């Protein structure tokens, strides 16, 4: 348009035109300018409308966040359970610039006698994995650290730092002297729990290490990765014993039989695979889930396998035949974690629906449901000897439960930094 106008203008300057022709050209030019201005204004109006819609949507989302924050804060203020009050107050203050009331309630709870210590330790991110052994609990988090806890007192024994990414999975040796972790930094680390020192780094995967397991004697370790493979390691020298290839997508969960002869893996390809650890060969593939397999567990004798999936169900499998024994349905969210009792008669699951369920394996009956977390339950441990259940969650906490009653025994809290300008009620 501008080039055409320039041409016409140049022509007008050099070519004799009648007054009528010149008037028509000038009128045409003015009309063109007007239309261009109208179009520019229309585009600006559309841009302003789009910007306004985004601002309105942002304001609406902020209003929802503030409403939820005030709800948690109000519940915290009314709670007679001090430990629950802390958890609720922390949840109320997780949003950016929480309401003044939420900050005030957190301050009030934080300065109650005997409570302040609970706010000076713990994870500053979501808890991805938990393990339990010899009177201690081990947890890992998106804050790149591991924490060893005293189960009886809830006190932090030691923090382990060495990974440079999310620590997705942890395992403890039978005697509790060593710990193993797998991370988004693509490595595994073997730790000495008494000192927190790194014993050995394991490097070999080319993707996130999503899951790790230790053999009963602690001499071998198993890892599953986003690179679609499993690796069996010799823990003492840190050498690779066996590579396992067969999954079509990321390996999210792994397990070992008590005798170390079989390995089990679950993948985003929606299947489980049972492996021969001596040969590295696939024994059997299990298919039946309608979505990705998030967690697996293998019975001590290797005769039964469990899997939890994003399809909200658990499946019990016969490892000899590869057939489904039973499907367990009761969760309303993805099943992130599965654990078995030593005798295989009970199974425990954790879900994004914020609950845990204890199942009777023979019948599929729900024995007990555990509710108390404020976020997805990412990892669970079942100790039938002590009749306890341990869980780790998106809410940055761990909870130790009484398996017989479903009551909370202890809460292990996340780290929080209180703002200096918080004020208490007068």
Q: Is residue 425 part of a domain?
A: no
Q: Is residue 419 part of a domain?
A: no
Element holding 355 (H helix, E strand): strand 355-360
296 or 152, which is more confident? 296
The pLDDT of residue 426 is 36
Q: Do 152 and 256 sit in the same domain of this protein?
A: yes
Q: Does pLDDT of 366 surpass 80? A: yes
270 phi/psi in degrees, rounded to 5: 75, 10
Q: Is residue 417 part of a domain?
A: no
The pLDDT of residue 111 is 57
Sequence-ordered alpha helix ranges (H) in 79-116: 82-92, 100-110
Per the document, the length of the chain is 426
- Under 8 Å between Cβ of 359 and 347: yes
| Residues in Cβ contact with 182 at an 8 Å cutoff, skipping those fewer than 6 apart | 167, 168, 169, 170, 188, 209, 210, 211, 212, 223
359 or 54, which is more confident? 359
Token code pair at residue 382: 């079942």
Q: Does pLDDT of 212 surpass 90? A: yes
Token code pair at residue 377: 């339950």
Token code pair at residue 290: 């309608």
Q: At 88, is the pLDDT very low, low, confident or very high (cuts 50, 70, 90)?
A: confident
Q: Does pLDDT of 122 surpass 50? A: yes
Q: Does pLDDT of 319 surpass 90? A: yes
Q: Is residue 278 part of a domain?
A: yes
Range of the domain at 280: 122-412
The pLDDT of residue 117 is 41
The pLDDT of residue 112 is 63
The pLDDT of residue 289 is 98
Q: DSSP labels for 174-228?
A: TTSSEEEEEETTSEEEEEETTT--EEEEEE--SS-EEEEEE-TTSSEEEEEETTS
Q: Does pLDDT of 68 surpass 80? A: yes
Q: What is the mean pLDDT of the chain?
A: 87
Q: Is residue 41 part of a domain?
A: yes
Q: Do 115 and 126 sit in the same domain of this protein?
A: no
Q: Does pLDDT of 421 surpass 60? A: no
Token code pair at residue 316: 């019990």
Q: Is residue 426 part of a domain?
A: no
The pLDDT of residue 119 is 41
Q: Does pLDDT of 415 surpass 50? A: no
Q: Which residue matches tokens 């939890």? A: 308
| Total domains in the fold of the chain | 2
Query: Mean per-residue pLDDT for 135-143?
Result: 95
| pLDDT, tens digit (0-9, with 9 covering 90-100), for 40-59 | 877 777 777 677 777 888 88
The pLDDT of residue 22 is 58
For residue 255, give the DSSP letter. E
- Under 8 Å between Cβ of 399 and 408: yes
Q: At 97, is the pLDDT very low, low, confident or very high (cuts 50, 70, 90)?
A: confident
Q: Do 2 and 126 sit in the same domain of this protein?
A: no
Q: Do 162 and 61 sit in the same domain of this protein?
A: no
State the CATH number of the domain containing residue 228: 2.130.10.10
For residue 253, give the DSSP letter. E
Q: Does pLDDT of 1 surpass 80? A: no
The pLDDT of residue 57 is 82
Q: Does pLDDT of 18 surpass 70? A: no
Q: Does pLDDT of 26 surpass 80? A: no
Q: At 417, is the pLDDT very low, low, confident or very high (cuts 50, 70, 90)?
A: very low
- Under 8 Å between Cβ of 412 and 154: yes
Token code pair at residue 17: 């035109």
The pLDDT of residue 363 is 95
Q: Is residue 423 part of a domain?
A: no
Q: Do 55 and 147 sit in the same domain of this protein?
A: no
| pLDDT, tens digit (0-9, with 9 covering 90-100), for 157-186 | 999 999 999 999 999 999 999 999 999 999
The pLDDT of residue 114 is 53
Token code pair at residue 387: 């009749």
């Amino acid at each position: 348009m501008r080039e055409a106008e320039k041409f016409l203008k140049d022509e007008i300057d050099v070519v004799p035109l009648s007054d009528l022709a010149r008037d028509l050209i000038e009128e045409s030019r003015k009309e063109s300018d007007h239309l261009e201005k109208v179009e520019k204004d229309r585009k600006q109006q559309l841009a302003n409308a789009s910007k306004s819609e985004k601002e309105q949507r942002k304001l609406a989302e902020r209003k929802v966040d503030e409403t939820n924050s005030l709800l948690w804060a109000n519940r915290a203020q009314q709670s007679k359970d001090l430990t629950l009050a802390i958890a609720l107050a922390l949840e109320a203050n997780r949003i950016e610039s929480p309401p003044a009331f939420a900050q005030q309630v957190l301050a009030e709870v934080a300065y109650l006698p005997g409570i302040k210590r609970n706010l000076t330790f713990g994870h500053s991110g979501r808890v991805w994995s938990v393990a339990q052994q010899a009177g201690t609990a081990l947890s890992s988090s998106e804050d790149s650290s591991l924490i060893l806890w005293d189960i009886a007192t809830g006190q932090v024994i030691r923090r382990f730092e060495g990974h440079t990414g999310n620590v997705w999975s942890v395992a403890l040796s039978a005697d509790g002297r060593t710990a193993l972790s797998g991370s988004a930094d693509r490595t595994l680390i073997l730790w000495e729990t008494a000192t927190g020192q790194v014993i050995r780094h394991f490097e070999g995967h080319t993707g996130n290490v999503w899951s790790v397991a230790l053999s009963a004697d602690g001499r071998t370790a198993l890892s599953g990765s986003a690179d679609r493979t499993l690796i069996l390691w010799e823990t003492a020298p840190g050498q690779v014993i066996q590579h396992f290839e067969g999954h079509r997508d990321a390996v999210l969960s792994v397990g070992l039989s008590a005798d170390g002869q079989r390995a089990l893996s679950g993948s985003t390809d929606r299947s489980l695979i049972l492996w021969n650890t001596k040969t590295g060969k696939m024994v059997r593939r299990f298919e039946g889930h309608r979505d990705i397999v998030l967690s697996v567990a293998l019975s001590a004798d290797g005769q039964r396998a469990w899997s939890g999936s994003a399809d909200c169900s658990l499946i019990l499998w016969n490892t000899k035949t590869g057939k489904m024994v039973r499907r367990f349905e009761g969760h309303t969210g993805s099943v992130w974690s599965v654990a078995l009792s030593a005798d295989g008669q009970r199974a425990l699951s954790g879900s994004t629906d914020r609950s845990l369920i204890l199942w009777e394996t023979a019948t599929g009956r729900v024995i007990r449901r555990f509710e108390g977390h404020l976020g997805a339950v990412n990892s669970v441990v079942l100790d039938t000897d002590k009749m306890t259940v341990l869980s780790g969650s998106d809410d940055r906490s761990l909870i130790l439960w009484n398996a017989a009653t479903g009551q909370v025994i202890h809460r292990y809290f996340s780290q929080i930094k209180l703002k200096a300008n918080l004020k208490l009620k007068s």
